Amino acid sequence: MSDVIAFIGLGHMGGPMAANLVKAGYRVLGHDLVAESLATAASTGVEPVAFAADAAARAGLVITMLPAGAHVLALYRDQGLLAAAGPGTLFVDCSTIDVADARTAHEAAVAAGHRALDAPVSGGVMGAEAATLTFMAGGGTAEFAEAEPVLAAMGRKAVHCGAAGAGQAAKICNNLILGVSMIAVSEAFVLGESLGLTHQALFDVASTASGQCWALTANCPVPGPVPASPANRDYRPGFAAPLMAKDLGLAANAIREGGVDAALGLAAARMYARFAAGTGADQDFSGIVRAVRDGSAHPHDQNGTPA
């Protein structure tokens, strides 16, 4: 593979990821529809290119970091990315998209004489900036081996999860666990409030008992027990509720398509969609505890004190 990488989508995640590739010594040709994002990327050493297809034509590896599957498929097919690239180019899509779209993108790349990986990430903007992302990849073993050094320049860990789409599958399954467990932890705190149990007492028990989970011990949805959690800064993200709503929406699509009996996943998708469209639009996903509290009969403040 050549050391020239095309990077399409230089937003909150793509911008710092492309910057880390430059730091690692790669020549990065960047493109974004938004001029400001392109200018910011240029200030980190990314070479701005006016058309995505031009960047792809000059690179051995093409990374996309875009909002949704429709953007990836439109770029690959309608906007000529696959047609412009040299034979055998490796396309690595790091966006979080539908598993079905990931498989379609993979098939389109292969049909055009290229190779492809889906490699969505976990770790958020802070992980993108610090090059500590986790990548979960789907595609061939040889393609994963080829992409590994590039992924290592942007992250701390890369797991090869299986064939095309397996990276996206791992991402939505993980976030289904996270979304459901955050709601469960939030419901337990609000139930505790109505029973007169302090947040600290519930935390001290559950964090060392069988209720222990990341949503409780790292991202605790009530202020106090975990000082670094977003609840202590008025639920500023962190992992924003609209992103959780998006990921659970993708999980819900896959649940329905696969005919899976996943009632809690579907309920969590509905709860986060409602929360993200309303008061949670600019909050961390742990702010769902407020929605649980607001929907409950016995009013308490965020510290658990009866209002």
When asked if residue 33 is in the footprint of ligand NAD (CB under 6 A), the reply is yes
The DSSP line for 241-278 is HHHHHHHHHHHHHHHHHHT---HHHHHHHHHHHHHHHT
When asked if residue 252 is in the footprint of ligand NAD (CB under 6 A), the reply is no
When asked if residue 286 is in the footprint of ligand NAD (CB under 6 A), the reply is no
Torsion of CA 98, 99, 100, 106, to 10 degrees: 110
Complex with ligand NAD: residue 40 or 89, whichever CB lies closer: 40
To ligand NAD, the closest distance from the beta carbon of 226 in angstroms equals 20
φ/ψ (deg, to 5) at 300: -135, 155
To ligand NAD, the closest distance from the beta carbon of 210 in angstroms equals 29
When asked if residue 32 is in the footprint of ligand NAD (CB under 6 A), the reply is yes
Complex with ligand NAD: residue 18 or 206, whichever CB lies closer: 18
Sign of the alpha-carbon torsion through 79, 50, 40, 19: positive
Question: Which token pair is 292?
Answer: 């649980």
Complex with ligand NAD: residue 17 or 292, whichever CB lies closer: 17
Applying CB under 6 A, among 7, 14, 40, 160 the residue interacting with ligand NAD is 14
Question: Residue 31 pairs with which residues in a beta bridge?
Answer: 8
Applying CB under 6 A, among 8, 92, 169, 188 the residue interacting with ligand NAD is 8
Q: Which of 127, 8, 112, 135 is nearest to 59 (CA)?
A: 8
Applying CB under 6 A, among 5, 6, 7, 11 the residue interacting with ligand NAD is 11
Q: What residues contact 305, with CB distance under 8 A and at least 6 apart?
A: none
To ligand NAD, the closest distance from the beta carbon of 304 in angstroms equals 29
When asked if residue 115 is in the footprint of ligand NAD (CB under 6 A), the reply is no
What is the rounded distance in angstroms from the CA atom of residue 253 to the CA atom of residue 259? 10
Applying CB under 6 A, among 30, 59, 71, 271 the residue interacting with ligand NAD is 71
Complex with ligand NAD: residue 9 or 221, whichever CB lies closer: 9
Question: Residue 115 pairs with which residues in a beta bridge?
Answer: 90
User: In the 3-class helix/strand/coil scheme, how is 16-59 assigned residue by residue?
Assistant: HHHHHHHHCCCEEEEECCCHHHHHHHHCCCCEECCCHHHHHHCC
Q: Is 171 a catalytic residue?
A: yes
Complex with ligand NAD: residue 112 or 121, whichever CB lies closer: 121
When asked if residue 52 is in the footprint of ligand NAD (CB under 6 A), the reply is yes
| Catalytic residue IDs | 171
Q: Which residues bind ligand NAD (CB under 6 A)?
A: 8-14, 31-34, 37, 52, 65-67, 71, 75, 95-96, 121, 124-125, 243, 246
